[in-house]
Amino acid sequence: MKTEHCDVPFNNVSAPDFLAVAKLRELQLQRLQCIVDRAYNHVMHYRDAMEQLEVRPEDIRSLDDVRRLPFTDKTALRDNYPFGLFASPMNEVVRVHASSGTTGKPIVVAYTQADVDVWSSVMMRSFAACGVHAGDIVQNAYGYGLFTGGLGAHYGAEALGATVIPISGGNTERQIMVLRDFGVTVICCTPSYFLHIAEKAAEMGMPLQDLPLRAGVFGAEPWTENMRRRIQELTGVRAFDIYGLSEIVGPGVGIECDQQNGLHIFEDHFLMEIVNPDTGDPLPDGEEGELVLTTLSKMAMPMLRYRTHDITAIKTDPCPCGRTVRRIDRISRRSDDMLIIRGVNVFPSQIETALLAVEGTLPHYQIIVDRQQGLDGIEVQVEVTAELFSDTVKELEALKSRISHAIDSTIGLRVAVSLVQPRTITRSEGKAKRVIDRRTN
Ligand code: DLL
């Protein structure tokens, strides 16, 4: 049986989410001044970058002055691999994580004990925001290890007083056995892995609807509102979106509350800006652009104006939940995800939105980009139900053309659609790889 649980505003765990705005901004400024000072005085990279812009820590007199600071990007992390951006001596660093990235060396991030405590607290607030509480049994299927997902969720759920099952990712049959036998009420994993678990559970004759599982805390990869709808319909589990990145802290930068309408950013620890991804110029609230984050309390490895490449907008209307920490739109794409196909800009999330709006498709798809005789093209492979697959060619053709039409009218480009048998597309146990780019250059 599934039980609903609502967040209790102003409880101790969530209190910082409800600070008076003036107080919050005052706290942010104090912390910003401290962290800039720390970065300048302890990290050569920041000192050099600030000197180039002729800005000194004492120039930061208001929150808007953050714009005077240099941006930081992945290159700075790579150039200073592995420990060059640390602001603390090694005997104060209690943990490192790393993110593999797509090319070359991983990027390495560090935490003091105080940083681990802040991380646990923002993860605890994340769980509380989406109604998780002491007494919940949390199956943590994010990967444990260098990836921040596993340990981040682990510490947060424990701090909240929930029971954590540190199962990590993979071994899907065992995941399902544990879900059932331990009476799990909350699961944490990527949305794509959860779909895989749900599918396998149904195959094993244990549909998730029959279990006490009530909520999923899903993140680490882009997913769309249509994907949420499909997950919730298919499994009866409420799907909450959680955001974070290794460079800033890991998971717990922001999360949805019970309203499921935008992610609250824990602004007392993370200062957010939205900038034009091409020019870096600041954009007003409500306008879509690249999210830039500054850590306000990270001791071991402060990040000043980190270019996330994640595209979103700051929501301008207050949230009915009463939290004063502002929300951003769900991140459905990255600026570097963009495919340019015959001059048209295409984001994988646009394709997901379009095809999941079509009845009869399954939420398993892959985008293949290829170049033939110098011309780029996209093929979208979509799984359809076994019943549909046994339909007549005419019906399959009709479905194909509905999908084609839905995609064409969203992205303005004709793509090839292939309907494939259920379970043809590789399932992920972590971050899904949606795009296979076969172009050689
Ligand atoms: O994915 C941290 C994390 C773990 C977040 C578990 C949520 C849950 P990285 O491996 O460094 O860290 O990848 C960070 O993943 O810049 C986004 O592009 C993407 N991402 C993370 N969460 C979301 C989300 C973790 N909810 C990168 N929606 C980020 C969309 C997300 N994209």
Give me ligand 1 centre to Cα 368, in Å.
23
Both 310 and 401 in a single domain? no
Ligand 1 centroid, distance to 41 Cα (angstroms): 30
The stretch 6-13 carries a mean pLDDT of: 55
Whose Cα sits closest to atom 18 in ligand 1?
310
Q: Which two tokens stand for residue 17?
A: 């989410």
Contacts of 287 (CB under 8 A, 6+ apart): 274, 313
Is residue 310 domain-shared with residue 204, that is, in the same domain?
yes
Least confident of 99-103, 227-231, 303-307, 379-383: 99-103
C-alpha 253 – ligand 1 centre gap (Å): 10
Which pLDDT value is given to residue 227?
96
Split at pLDDT 50, 70, 90, the class of 105 is confident
Whether residue 279 sits in one domain with residue 330: yes
Residue 188 phi/psi, 5° resolution? -120, 125
Alpha carbon of 437 to ligand 1 centroid (Å): 21
Distance 333 CA to ligand 1 centre (A): 11
Which CATH number characterizes residue 48's domain?
A: 3.40.50.12780
How many domains are contained in the chain?
A: 2
Q: Is the pTM of this model over 0.75?
A: yes
> Which 3 state secondary structure label does DSSP give 422?
coil
Q: Are residues 132 and 191 in the same domain?
A: yes
Q: Given this model, what pLDDT does residue 68 score?
A: 98
Instruction: Kindly report the backbone phi and psi dihedral angles of residue 215, in degrees, each rounded to the nearest multiple of 5, phi listed first.
Output: -140, 150
pLDDT > 50? residue 1:
no
Which residue, by CA, sits nearest to atom 4 of ligand 1?
149
Range in 87-96, 102-111, 229-238, 307-316 the model is least confident about: 102-111
177 and 121 in one domain?
yes
Q: pLDDT-derived band of residue 332, with 50, 70 and 90 as boundaries? A: confident
Q: 331 CA distance to ligand 1 centroid (A)?
A: 9
- Do the beta carbons of residue 411 and residue 340 sit within 8 Å? no
Q: For residues 34 and 164, state if they share a domain.
A: yes
pLDDT score, position 387? 83
Res. 7: pLDDT tops 80: no
- The pLDDT of residue 157 is above 60: yes
- Which residue's CA is the nearest one to ligand 1's atom 15? 220
User: Which of 334, 355, 382 is the C-terminal boundary of a domain?
Assistant: 334
Tokens 């780019």 locate to: 437
Over 70: is that where the pLDDT of 29 sits?
yes
In this structure, the residue with its CA closest to atom 9 of ligand 1 is 245
Q: Phi first, then psi: what are they for 153, rounded to 5°?
A: -65, -35
Domain final residue pick, 318, 334, 350: 334
Same domain, 12 and 94: yes
- Judge if the upstream peptide bond of residue 82 is cis by omega within 30 degrees of 0: yes
Look at ligand 1, atom 29, and give the residue with the nearest C-alpha. 245
* Alpha-carbon span 152 to 140, nearest angstrom: 10
| Helix extents (H) in 3-43 | 21-42
Residues 239 and 311 in one domain: yes
List ligand 1's pocket residues with C-beta within 6 A.
99, 142, 148-149, 219-222, 241-246, 250-251, 308, 310, 331, 334
Mean pLDDT, the chain, as a whole number? Answer: 94
Q: Sign (positive/negative) of CA torsion 265, 270, 273, 275?
A: negative
CB-based burial label for 438 (10 Å; 0-12, 13-18, 19+) = exposed
Dig out the tokens for 292 from the structure: 């830039």
Whole-number Å distance, alpha carbon 126 to ligand 1 midpoint, is 14
pLDDT at 278 over 90: yes
Atom of ligand 1 nearest to the CA of 100: 10
Residue 286 pLDDT class (50, 70, 90 cuts): very high
268 and 391 assigned to the same domain: no
Domain that holds residue 423: 338-437
- What's the pLDDT tens digit per position in 345-397? 999 999 999 999 998 899 999 999 999 888 999 999 999 888 887 778 888 99
At residue 4, the pLDDT reads: 46
Q: Looking at the structure, do residues 139 and 213 belong to the same domain, yes or no?
A: yes
254 plus 385 within the same structural domain: no
**Residue 170 pLDDT greater than 50, yes or no:** yes
Boundary (domain end) residue, out of 334, 358, 384: 334
Burial class (CB in 10 A: 0-12, 13-18, 19+), 372: exposed
> Are 329 and 429 members of one domain?
no
Query: Which pair of tokens denotes residue 92?
Result: 């104060």
- Closest C-alpha to ligand 1, atom 12: 245
CA angle (261, 266, 267) in 5-degree steps: 110
CATH number, position 419: 3.30.300.30
Alpha carbon 343 to its chain's center = 28
